[in-house]
Chains A and B, each alone.
Chain A
Amino acid sequence: MPRPLEPVGQSTRITLGISFFVLFFAAWAFATLGGFVSRTFLADPITMLQDGWLLLTRFGFLSDIGITVWRVVGGFIMAAIIAVPLGILMGAYKSFEAFLEPFVSFARYLPASAFVPLLILWAGIGEMQKLLVIFIGSVFQIILMVAVAVGNTRRDLVEAAYTLGSSDQGVVKRVLIPANAPEIAEILRLVLGWAWTYVIVAELIGSSSGIGHMIIDSQALMATGQMIFGIIVIGVIGLISDFLFKAVNRKIFAWRLA
């Protein structure tokens, strides 16, 4: 029996991680190919892969994927550019925090998906509307989380900087920001994951391209294989972006692991 909190080796970890995927697909194949679930509602894994192949080779699904990735990244970068500096200012300056925090906390609970109809009115059904959904969904989350991280900077490091002659601005630039940079990167990784759920919602309504649009189209055709393939593609892209983010963070913030 494993003991609580006892670490496992790298190879065991990978084997265990993969084995759940295998188990998952096996259970799915058993339920569908074994005839326990109607094909109308759930395609079997093989059909799903065939449909996926068709989508990629015949129906230009790659460009759908590309456009969805572009929307997520675009909206997310817009949000990050505005939210990270605001969050740092809020974390560093308490009066600024008192000014903005109540509103941002309120705005954070406004569901991005509820803005879709309104945004269509404002921005039409073009790209701007998709980007704005991602933006609204991400920006307030990033602001608040960054503000909390910066606000929790170790006080003794700040005091040490002051006794070494740092100005107030110097403390923000050379202590608060570098001390929290890894955590800010971690926050961005997390929120990027959430941004993926918003983009699909944006594409389900009033869109003529993207993974979400393909899923809605497939629903009309009862093509569950295609729908599931689309969902899995989102999961795989999420996994890849997460992995890349982690790898880059490890590289940039080597001091954290030193």
Chain B
Amino acid sequence: MTGTILQIENVSRVFPGIRGGAPVRALEPTSLQVAQNDFITILGPSGCGKSTLLRIVAGLDRPSGGRVLLNGREIKGPGADRGMVFQSYTLFPWLTIAENIEYGLREKGMAKSQRRDIVASYTEKVGLRGFENHYPKQLSGGMQQRTAIARALANDPEILLLDEPFGALDNQTRGLMQELLLGIWERERKTVLFVTHDIEEAIFLASRVIVMSARPGRIKADIPVDLPHPRHYTMKTTPEFSSLKAELTEEIRHEAIEADVAH
């Protein structure tokens, strides 16, 4: 067993009330240990604070209490050691696909020849050969998110954070993207934290599913997924998968109802 790479210690987040309203407790004190090479999916209904938790790990949001440690060092702000893929399309529209993938390497001051090799390798891995000189606008949503994944991975981060990256894609594309991401993870063994509200997606990708409860957000269940690798989309119809899905559906259903009542 490999060691812990990420420690989330009693992290909470309270958003100040709007116009004198009561402050919103988005995230109750939450603790989570992430082992090296884990693929963790964080599953929960909207408004459960799962994105807030991920943004705190990314350093884009500050916890109201607690702390996050990456390799034992406390996270103070965003950095290249945590790659992030957003739900919205965040490729830089003025850069080509290759230049987008290259962005982080340039910021590091890497030599051009070295950059070119890395960009070529990741363009290949996400299946975008031949689109290097296209602008993001010329690509479909799925291709843009593939570029975003390549851009984050090219930087060789310690951990990859994904915030519902396939949420805006159609069902077929989403399935293909899941396989692509899983394939990369199976080969490169990155540590991944993946936020989603899609139960099938959470199971299919994960080595561990963290179920979060509705407002105030907290971790409700921590379920290991022992399905064998490499995984193929046909796995989604196996009895093991189905029973996991039934279990998680029950957990989530309860939360969704509560979240709905609370609104």
**A164 and B86 contacting across the interface, CB-CB below 8 Å:** no
The residues of B that contact A170 with a CB separation of less than 8 Å are 107
Q: Report the separation of the CA atoms of residues A159 and B55 in the bound assembly, to the nearest whole angstrom.
A: 10
The smallest C-beta distance from A52 to any residue of chain B, in angstroms, reads: 44
Q: Is B135 an interface residue (CB 8 A)?
A: yes
Least Cβ–Cβ distance between A158 and chain B, in angstroms: 9
Question: Closest residue of chain B to A163, judged by CB?
Answer: B84
User: How many angstroms between the C-alpha atoms of A258 and B133 in the bound complex?
Assistant: 11
**Is A165 positioned at the interface, with any CB of B under 8 Å from its CB?**
yes
Task: Evaluate contact between A164 and B93: CB separation under 8 angstroms.
Answer: no
**Which of B83, B134, B135 touches A163 (beta carbons < 8 Å)?**
B83
B137 at the interface (CB under 8 A from A): yes
Q: Is the CB of A165 within 8 A of B135?
A: no
Residue from A154, A159, A164, A258 within 8 A of B80 (CB atoms): A164
Do A165 and B79 touch (CB < 8 A)?
A: yes
* B32 proximal to A (CB < 8 A): no
Known interface pairs A159-B60, A162-B60, A165-B80. Does A255 touch B90 (Cβ–Cβ under 8 Å)? no
Question: Would you give the shortest CB distance from B168 to chain A, in whole angstroms?
Answer: 13
Question: In the complex, which range does the number of interface residues on chain B fall in?
Answer: 20 to 34
Other-chain residue from B92, B104, B152 in contact with A175 (beta carbon distance below 8 A): B92
Query: Counting CB contacts under 8 A, is A66 at the interface?
Result: no
Which residues in A have their C-beta under 8 angstroms from that of B155?
A: 164-165
| Cβ contacts under 8 Å, B134 to chain A | 258
A-B contact count (CB 8 A): 75
The CA of A185 and the CA of B4, in the complex, are separated in Å by: 50
Do the beta carbons of B107 and A179 come within 8 Å of each other? no
Q: Please give me the residue from chain A that is nearest to B96 by CB atom.
A: A255
Q: Which residues of A contact B79 (CB under 8 A)?
A: 162-163, 165
For A207, the chain B residues whose CB sits under 8 A away are none
User: Binding site of A, secondary structure by majority: helix, strand, loop or mixed?
Assistant: helix
Nearest CB in chain B: distance from A163 CB, A: 4
The CA-CA distance from A160 to B89 in the complex, in Å, is: 10
User: Which residues of A lie under 8 Å from residue B59 when comparing CB positions?
Assistant: 162-163
Give the complex CA separation of A258 and B144 in angstroms: 14
Cβ-defined partner of A179 (8 Å) among B58, B60, B92 = B92
Please tell me if the beta carbons of A156 and B86 are within 8 angstroms of each other in the complex: yes
Q: A159-B60, A163-B83, A258-B138 are in contact. Are A178 and B92 (CB under 8 A)?
A: yes
B78 touching A159, Cβ below 8 Å:
yes
Q: Is the CB of B90 within 8 A of A156?
A: yes
Chain B residue numbers with a CB within 8 Å of A154 are 90
Contact B107 A157 (CB under 8 A): no
B103 interface hit (Cβ, 8 Å): yes
List residues 85-114 of chain B with CB under 8 A from any CB of chain A. 86, 88, 90, 92-95, 103-104, 107-108
Pick the contact of B151: A157, A164, A167 (CB < 8 A): A164
Distance in angstroms between the alpha carbons of A160 and B60 in the assembled complex: 10
* A163 surroundings in chain B (CB, below 8 A): 58-60, 78-80, 82-84, 152, 161
What residues of chain B lie closer than 8 Å to A165, measured between beta carbons? 79-80, 104, 107-108, 155
Across the A-B interface, the 4 shortest Cβ-Cβ residue pairs = A165-B80, A162-B78, A164-B104, A258-B135
- Besides A157-B90, A163-B83, 19 new A-B residue pairs in contact (Cβ under 8 A), listed by A number: A156-B86, A159-B84, A161-B92, A161-B103, A163-B79, A163-B152, A163-B161, A164-B104, A164-B107, A165-B79, A165-B107, A178-B94, A179-B92, A179-B93, A255-B95, A255-B135, A256-B94, A258-B135, A258-B137
Which B residues form the contact surface with A (CB < 8 A)? 58-60, 77-80, 82-84, 86, 88, 90, 92-95, 103-104, 107-108, 134-135, 137-138, 148, 151-152, 155, 161
Interface on A for B, CB 8 Å cutoff? 154, 156-157, 159-167, 170, 174-175, 178-179, 181, 253-256, 258
13 contacts between A and B (CB under 8 A): A156-B90, A157-B90, A160-B86, A162-B60, A162-B77, A163-B60, A163-B78, A163-B152, A164-B80, A164-B103, A164-B155, A253-B94, A256-B93
